[in-house]
Amino acid sequence: MAWRLIADEAPARGARNMAVDHALLDSVQEGGQPVLRLYRWRPACLSFGRNQHVIDTYDRNRIAAAGIDVVRRPTGGLAVLHHHELTYCVLAPLAVTGGPRTTYKRINEALLFAIRALGVDAWLAGGTGSVSRSPRSSIEPCFQAPASGEIMADGRKLVGSAQRCERGVLLQHGSLLLDGSQDLVRELLIEAAVPDAADGPGAATLRDLTGSVPDWEKLCDVVVSGFADVSGTRFAPARLTHHEIERADRLESQYVDEAWTWRR
């Protein structure tokens, strides 16, 4: 069975991107085809993990003054600044993917294949479990330190990912950093919450590693080829259905709502 490939042509706001991912999750839960979605963000957006505690650690005034959107993701993990990146979203039944850990491993292997095709000497972080973190790590940027199995280059984290499993379907999305810096994430913390020192090596970007960033179409082609070559999956270009657009329109109000974004 071919998967749907949805490669957005234009960037979207954070709340819209999360609403579309959520709408696609609903579609797959209702028996729809698995999906690989590739997309971008505009304006820059700070996203929080579904259960991340942020209400007394991130400064709303600083975020607003920086002209940055803010949204809470439906998946877990820590804070990410989405700006110059390729974001992927995989939605598939657990029966198809082989479970959360297997899926996580296969997705990272597919992305590693793609990144190496772009000329980057990348590898997967070692270890058998999650990376050990300090008690304050819940306020660190996602890209500050790698977890086991995440993609590294030049000793730094290049791709960060997060999952959610619900009603037998897995949603995993993550960020391949193309340019820019994740340092601003720390600058948006309430001053009293800023850690004294970094816990890890920080983030790498494709421009850091190769000196350039391919155009969007080439990036999408390379990533899709990575997934196809590693998993043997066929992808059929597709668009959101009318029903999915209507559902995303309704869900967007949740992701815009500060009661959701700042709920904990």
Report, as residue numbers or ranges, the catalytic residues.
142
**What burial class does residue 69 get, using C-beta atoms within 10 Å of its C-beta: 0-12 exposed, 13-18 middle, 19+ buried?**
buried
**What burial class does residue 182 get, using C-beta atoms within 10 Å of its C-beta: 0-12 exposed, 13-18 middle, 19+ buried?**
buried
Q: Are 8 and 35 in contact (CB under 8 A)?
A: no
DSSP 239-261: ---HHHHHHHHHHHHHHH-HHHH
Which sign, positive or negative, has the C-alpha torsion 108, 114, 115, 121? positive
* CA nearest to 40, candidates 89, 87, 90, 79: 87
**CA gap 63, 59 in Å, rounded:** 6
* CA nearest to 23, candidates 257, 261, 259, 249: 249
- Tell me the C-alpha to C-alpha distance, in Å, between residue 43 and each of 17, 69, 162, 238, 264: 12, 7, 21, 25, 24
